[in-house]
């Protein structure tokens, strides 16, 4: 099994949750497996994979743990926090190559 793109410590640095490290690690493994299945991860630099995995997992943590909140500048409503994390994730994925290569096609994710 390949090493994860990010660690539980890196995810917990951007989201405040009651989930344990092993629980977060399980979500990281699911996220990374999905990324490998749907994206051309072999052509992406490690730091880009780490950023995408970390943010995507943070979103999953917030959706799974109702008491979780993102850290940093987003100390507003939970809805705003999730929206901000989602926009950052979309920006990272689009910036990786101007789009995202899926197993069965190409989706252009550039901002219009």
pTM of the predicted model as reported, rounded to 2 decimal places: 0.76
pLDDT digits (tens, 9 = 90+) for 79-96: 777 788 888 888 777 777
Residues 6+ apart with CB under 8 A from 25: 4, 7, 8
User: For residues 106 and 31, what is the distance between their CA atoms, to the nearest angstrom?
Assistant: 20
DSSP assignment of 66-78, as one string? TT-EE-SS--S-H
pLDDT at 66 over 90: no
Confidence of residue 24 (pLDDT cuts 50, 70, 90): very high
Whether the predicted pLDDT of 2 surpasses 60 = yes
pLDDT for residue 19 = 93
């Amino acid at each position: 099994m390949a090493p994860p793109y990010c660690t539980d410590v890196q995810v917990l640095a951007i989201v405040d949750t009651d989930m344990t490290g092993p629980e977060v690690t399980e979500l990281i493994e699911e996220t990374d497996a999905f990324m490998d299945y749907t994206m051309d991860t072999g052509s992406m630099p490690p730091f880009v994979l780490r950023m995408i995995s970390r943010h995507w997992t943070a979103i999953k943590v917030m959706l799974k743990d109702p008491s979780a909140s993102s850290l940093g500048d987003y100390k507003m409503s939970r809805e705003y926090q999730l929206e901000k994390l989602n926009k950052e994730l979309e920006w990272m994925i689009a910036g990786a190559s101007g789009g995202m290569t899926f197993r069965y096609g190409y989706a252009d994710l550039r901002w219009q």
